[in-house]
């Protein structure tokens, strides 16, 4: 009885361990595919660009290769039966080459790759079934193995299409093949597809991780590590871009400054100052995702916002909400007689001007006026205000 009880407990323990292992494998599988989905989502532009280049190269090389094959079939008698399928495939590839530039921005490039390889699979089916039924096809193996290795797309879609193409090939071709070759055809397809899918998954992951590393490096170069906002270098690049183009929408520039920040740093230390800047930056980052204002950390405790499509009144209301949210953080600043951290904001004129340097200068003057008027306030540029600022300097 004791032995039976011991055996039962051991068996139950083994089942529990196996169940835990299965759950761990499932969690790793789910985490892996979530990570892959994140890599694809974060690097969609680079993926599209890579697939576009691949499509262009594939179509160009395909046209050149089939021109060569047509020449060979005209010169060599035993290739003559392939002349018609060669001409048909060249015609299809040329048509796709002319169509691709016109629809490249409307159809994902990966789909175009699937279509291109679909025509090549169709060519393989025709030649294998009706032209060379007494020979094992090698070309189909080349085409099936290339799709998962060179295409960047979601794994499930790539795998599904490769398996679908291989099944279509075998279902259509096998009835026309020499019975002695059927097992070879099936084995070759299964082996090639299995290896290609595994190798394709590995290479695709490596390429996506490379894209992500480049994206992260670019973000580190263009963003401020404390706030997550774009940095001063990015601001100048953006202003230069605006200067060289005619704005389609009204443009306004916002400059803001944390009040008495030097006193705050002297009282609480630079580490607390970084925390304060981070909290203000989080508010600006949140607003940049909700409104048409791109915020930058200009330097120290200063921030700049580039607004598009707003009137002066609308911009004033948005900035006043930002000012109020910063004050509602209730970050103590005893260097200011027991009050809280606040910001002052200056808004340039809103106009259809491309003279962004002038708008930046006027926003800076208005910020100066807001600070001179008592801080913790928003002010919009006015000509009479500007004259008073110049006289007071």
Q: Which H or E run includes 306?
A: strand 302-308
Where the chain has pLDDT below 50, the residues are: 5-6, 8-9, 11, 390-393
Q: Where are the alpha helices (DSSP H) in 80-181?
A: 83-103, 109-126, 139-150, 155-173
Grouping H, G, I as helix, E, B as strand and the rest as coil, residue 379 is: strand
Q: Are 367 and 345 in contact (CB under 8 A)?
A: yes
The predicted pLDDT at position 195 comes to 94
The predicted pLDDT at position 6 comes to 47
Rounded to 10 degrees, the C-alpha dihedral 244/249/250/254 comes to: -70
Spatial distance between the Cα atoms of 81 and 132, rounded to a whole number of angstroms:
9
Spatial distance between the Cα atoms of 146 and 45, rounded to a whole number of angstroms:
22
Spatial distance between the Cα atoms of 105 and 109, rounded to a whole number of angstroms:
8
For residue 273, report the phi and psi dihedrals to the nearest 5 degrees: -65, -40
Q: Supply angle C-alpha 377, 293, 313, rounded to 5.
A: 50
Contacts 24+ apart (CB under 8 A), 113-118: 113/51, 113/54, 113/55, 113/58, 113/147, 113/150, 113/151, 114/147, 114/151, 114/161, 116/55, 116/58, 116/59, 116/62, 117/143, 117/146, 117/147, 117/165, 118/165
For residue range 147-161, list pLDDT tens digits in order. Answer: 999 999 999 999 999
The predicted pLDDT at position 338 comes to 59
Spatial distance between the Cα atoms of 304 and 48, rounded to a whole number of angstroms:
32
The predicted pLDDT at position 279 comes to 94
User: b or e along 104-141 (b: 16 or more beta carbons within 10 Å of the residue's beta carbon)?
Assistant: beeeebbebbbebbbbbbbbbbbbbbeeeeeebbeebb
DSSP 197-215: HHHHHHHHHHHHHHHHHHH
The residues that bridge with 340 in the sheet, in sequence order, are: 332
The predicted pLDDT at position 387 comes to 55
User: Given phi > 0 = left and psi -120 to 50 = alpha, else beta, which region is 305?
Assistant: beta
Spatial distance between the Cα atoms of 47 and 379, rounded to a whole number of angstroms:
45
Grouping H, G, I as helix, E, B as strand and the rest as coil, residue 252 is: strand
Name the DSSP class of 127.
Answer: I
The predicted pLDDT at position 343 comes to 93
Tell me the pTM: 0.69
The predicted pLDDT at position 393 comes to 43
The fold for domain 232-392 equals Alpha-Beta Plaits (3.30.70)
Cβ neighbour number for residue 313 with a 10 Å cutoff: 10
What residue spans define the domains of the chain? Answer: 43-220, 232-392
Spatial distance between the Cα atoms of 254 and 212, rounded to a whole number of angstroms:
32
Radius of gyration of the chain (CA): 33
User: Given phi > 0 = left and psi -120 to 50 = alpha, else beta, which region is 98?
Assistant: alpha
The predicted pLDDT at position 392 comes to 45
For residue range 328-362, list pLDDT tens digits in order. Answer: 999 988 766 658 999 999 999 888 766 888 888 89
């Amino acid at each position: 009885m004791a032995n039976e009880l011991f055996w039962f407990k051991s068996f139950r323990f083994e089942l529990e361990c196996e169940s835990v292992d299965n759950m761990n494998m499932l969690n790793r599988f789910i985490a892996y595919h979530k990570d892959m989905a994140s890599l694809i989502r974060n690097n969609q532009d680079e993926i599209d660009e890579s697939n576009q280049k691949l499509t262009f190269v594939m179509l160009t090389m395909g046209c050149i290769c089939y021109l060569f094959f047509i020449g060979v079939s005209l010169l060599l008698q035993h290739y003559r039966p392939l002349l018609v399928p060669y001409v048909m495939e060249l015609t299809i590839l040329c048509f796709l080459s002319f169509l691709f530039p016109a629809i490249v921005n409307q159809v994902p490039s990966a789909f175009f790759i699937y279509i291109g390889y679909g025509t090549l699979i169709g060519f393989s089916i025709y030649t294998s079934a009706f032209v060379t039924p007494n020979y094992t096809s090698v070309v189909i193996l080349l085409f099936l193995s290339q799709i998962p290795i060179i295409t960047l797309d979601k794994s499930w879609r790539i795998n599904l299409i490769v398996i679908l193409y291989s099944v279509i090939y075998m279902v259509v071709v096998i009835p026309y093949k020499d019975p002695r070759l059927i097992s070879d055809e099936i084995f070759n397809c299964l082996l090639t597809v299995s290896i290609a899918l595994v190798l394709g998954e590995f290479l695709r992951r490596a390429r996506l991780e490379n894209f992500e590393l480049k994206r992260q490096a670019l973000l580190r170069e263009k963003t401020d590590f404390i706030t997550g906002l774009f940095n001063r270098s990015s601001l100048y690049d953006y202003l230069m871009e605006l200067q060289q183009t005619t704005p389609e929408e009204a443009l306004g520039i916002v400059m803001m400054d944390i009040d008495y920040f030097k006193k705050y740093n002297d009282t609480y230390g630079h580490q607390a100052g970084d925390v304060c800047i981070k909290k203000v930056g989080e508010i600006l980052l949140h607003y940049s995702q909700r409104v048409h204002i791109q915020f930058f950390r200009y330097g120290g405790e200063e921030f700049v916002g580039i607004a598009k499509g707003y009137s002066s009144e609308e911009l004033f209301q948005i900035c006043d909400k930002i000012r109020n949210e910063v004050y509602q953080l209730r970050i103590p600043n005893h260097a200011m007689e027991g009050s809280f951290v606040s910001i002052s904001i200056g808004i340039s004129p809103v106009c259809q001007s491309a003279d962004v340097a002038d708008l930046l200068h006027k926003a800076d003057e208005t910020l100066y006026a807001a600070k001179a008027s008592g801080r913790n306030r928003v002010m919009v540029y006015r000509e009479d205000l500007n004259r008073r600022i110049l006289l007071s300097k």
